[in-house]
Amino acid sequence: ISQLLSGKTDTLSYTTPEEELVDASCDGSVFILTSKQWGTKSLFQHIQRNDGPNGMRRESLISSIRWEVDSHLDYWTKLATHTITAPFFPFEIEDLSSILQNRVQTLNKKYQGVHWKRLEVSHAAIKHAVGMDHVEYLDLYQQNDGSGEEDQSVVALITFSTSGAHALDNNALWQTLRTRLMSGTRRRPGLTLKVDLDNNSKETVFRWCDRANGGVEDCEEEWRS
């Protein structure tokens, strides 16, 4: 990877778990994700200095990230001048909500006409699934110094998922959909599977629905989770 970073090669060689040596051509492009180790310090420092992510200057942030990554590399393997640095911000609740919705849409299209006529998951069910009861979040705070000790307070600048989008892999709603599909739940290609939130019990409700000739929707509850 260091050779790729320095621009000395466009081929990545690696060994598979079966101990097979593979040479992969990157065709001039390679994505190195360093958010777990390098670049996060610079990113969070800039968020705090600018009272949140919206006020940050892109050029300053990129320069800081490149310096941080370079400091972890040897002199001869520093980032080449042609290397593009793209800051990757932590995922907030709204981001996870959008990602989960896209996953549901992909699942809907994949099994449409086979398992269901349509899969519809309500906005309330999505928001509940990515809420703080189901995903571990972390707050980045900024301390506001007042004139006295009693005037000091803290403000949450950003609240983000500690494991990024990986938090959705074991998400209760997503796992229920996947588990039910894999376990051979009954297929009803002529009906719409609707997923909604029971506001009283806070359970996720799965129902098969159809519209009669009069336009009145008739639903049968399948399961809850």
pLDDT reported for residue 80: 60
Which position has the higher pLDDT, 128 or 151? 128
Q: Is the dihedral of CA 158, 137, 32, 5 positive or negative?
A: positive
Mean local confidence (pLDDT), 201-205: 88
The C-alpha atoms of residue 42 and residue 72 are separated, in whole angstroms, by 13
Mean local confidence (pLDDT), 188-204: 89
In 3D space, the residue among 117, 92, 120 whose CA is nearest the CA of residue 188 turns out to be: 117
Count of alpha carbons within 13 Å of 185, Cβ hemisphere only? 19
Mean local confidence (pLDDT), 80-103: 81
pLDDT reported for residue 108: 92
For residue 74, what are its two tokens? 């040897």
Which segment, 23-32, 194-203, 214-223, is predicted with the most confidence on average? 194-203
Q: Which of 105-109, 120-124, 156-160 has the lowest mean pLDDT?
A: 156-160
Asked whether residue 148 carries a pLDDT value surpassing 60, the answer given is no
Asked whether residue 146 carries a pLDDT value surpassing 60, the answer given is no
Neighbours of 117 (CB within 10 A): 18
Which position has the higher pLDDT, 134 or 50? 134
For residue 77, what are its two tokens? 């393997």
pLDDT reported for residue 128: 92
Mean local confidence (pLDDT), 29-58: 70
Neighbours of 26 (CB within 10 A): 12
